[in-house]
Amino acid sequence: GYQNVLKENRKLYNQLQDLKGNIRVYCRVRPLIGGHPNHYGTINNIDEESISLIIPSKNGKDGKKTFSFDRVFGPSVTQGEVFSDTQPLIRSVLDGYNVCIFAYGQTGSGKTHTMSGPNKLTEETLGVNYQIRNTSHNGINVPDANLVPVSSPSDVLNLMNLGQKNRAVSSTALNDRSSRSHSCLTVHVQGREFASGNSLRGCIHLVDLAGSERVDKSEVTGDRLKEAQHINKSLSALGDVIASLAQKQSHVPYRNSKLTQLLQDSLGGQAKTLMFVHISPEPEALGETISTLKFAERVSTIELGAARVNKDSGDVKELKEQIASLKATLAKKD
C-alpha cells in the first residue's frame, strides 16, 4: 500500500543519494513582483536542471549564460511542489540522518518564503512552561537558543512564528536585522525502529541565511560596515565548507565561521545538505543574481563536470526514472 510506496521511494532516494553524494544545490526563482508568473524578467530559460540568464550588452547583442544545478524551480512552481521534491530528504531524519537545509540569496529573493511558506497560522499562545536548556553547542555559546519540546506540527509552526517575530522586532531597532542575520530552526527527532527496536536520532536544521547582497562601501560605515563584512565572510565560509564537502576534500574548513562550527555535526560525514539558492528575476537584481549563481555553482559539484555527467548518464538516470514513476503513483493516491 501507500506506506510501501513511500518506503520504496525513500530507498531509491537513498540509493540516488549514495551515488551523487550528500550535497544538493537547488535553485529557485521567485515570480516578478507584481508581474505575471510566466514572465521571467532577466531569466532566459529554465528547465529541470539548468537556468540561463540574459546578459544585456551595450552593442545590442544580448549574451546568455547557463548555470546547472541538481534542480531548478521556476516562478510558477508551488510550495507544495518544492516540498514534495524535498520530502524524501526531510524524511531521512526519521532514518537517523542529520539534515541541513540552507536558504541563500539576496534580500527579497524568497528565502523565508521557501523555508516557512506563506505561514498564516493564527497566533496561538505558546505554553509558558517551555524550558531553556541549551546554551552551548560544540563548545560555542548560543545564548538565545531555546530547546523546546514539541508534539505536533502546529507546535513547530508556532515556534517558527515566534522566531520570525523576534527577528522582525529587532529589525526596526537595527537596520533591517532580519536580512542581516542568520536564523536557524533545529528539530531533533528521536524514535524507535519498529522492526529492530533500535533507537534512532536525527536532526534537521532549517537555516534562513542573511541576505547575500554585497554592501556598497560608500553607503555604510562603522559598525554597520563591520557587520556586513562579517556576514559576507560567514557566507563565503559556508560556501567553502560545502564546496570542499562536495569535492570530498580531506580538509573541511569548518573553523572559519561560527555558523559552520555550530553546524559541523550536521555538515559532512553521513549528514545531508541542501542549499536552496534564490533568484530575483528583476533587471535591477541582475548583478546580485549573477554573483549568487556563481556562488552556487562554486558550492555545487559542477566543477567536477565529467564525473557528474558520467554518473548522470547511467544509474542516476535510471533511479530518477523510478522515483518519478513512484511519485506519479503517490500523486494519484493523494
Three-state helix/strand/coil letters over 253-310? CHHHCHHHHHCHHHCCCCCEEEEEEEECCCHHHHHHHHHHHHHHHHHCHHHHHHHHHH
The listed partner (ligand ADP, Mg ion, none) that binds 266, CB under 5 to 8 Å by sort, is none
268 binds ligand ADP (CB under 6 A): no
Contacts of residue 113, defined as CB under 8 A and 6 or more positions apart, other chains included, come to 30, 79
The helix (run of H) or strand (run of E) holding residue 223 is helix 222-246
The CA-based angle 39-87-294, given to 5 degrees, is 50
Strand, helix or coil for residue 65: strand
Say which entry of ligand ADP, Mg ion, none residue 109 contacts (CB below 5 to 8 A, set by partner kind). Answer: ligand ADP
Q: Does residue number 180 form part of the binding site for ligand ADP (CB under 6 A)? A: no
Question: Contact at 8 Å (CB) between 42 and 283?
Answer: yes
What does 110 interact with, of Mg ion, ligand ADP, none (CB < 5 to 8 A by kind)?
Answer: ligand ADP
Smallest separation (angstroms) from Mg ion to the CB of 111: 5
Sole binder of Mg ion in the list 112, 114, 257, 280 (CB under 5 A)? 112
* Piece in contact with ligand ADP (CB under 6 A), picked from 90-98, 100-108, 292-300, 303-311: 100-108
Of 183, 190, 178, 130, the closest CA to residue 155 belongs to 130
**How many chain residues interact with ligand ADP (CB under 6 A)?**
12
Q: Tell me the three cell numbers of residue 69.
A: 544545478
Q: Of Mg ion, ligand ADP, none, which one does residue 205 interact with (CB within 5 to 8 Å by kind)?
A: none
Q: Which lies closer to Mg ion via its Cβ, residue 17 or residue 183?
A: 183
The answer to whether 299 touches 25, Cβ cutoff 8 Å, is yes
Q: Is 112 a binder of ligand ADP (CB under 6 A)? A: yes
**65, β-bridge pairs:** 53
Is there binding between residue 109 and Mg ion (CB under 5 A)?
no
**Stretch touching ligand ADP by CB under 6 A, among 62-70, 106-114, 136-144, 304-312:** 106-114
Query: Which member of 24, 111, 205, 308 binds ligand ADP (CB under 6 A)?
Result: 111
Residues that bind ligand ADP (CB under 6 A): 30-31, 105, 107-113, 179, 278
Contacting positions for Mg ion (CB under 5 A): 111-112
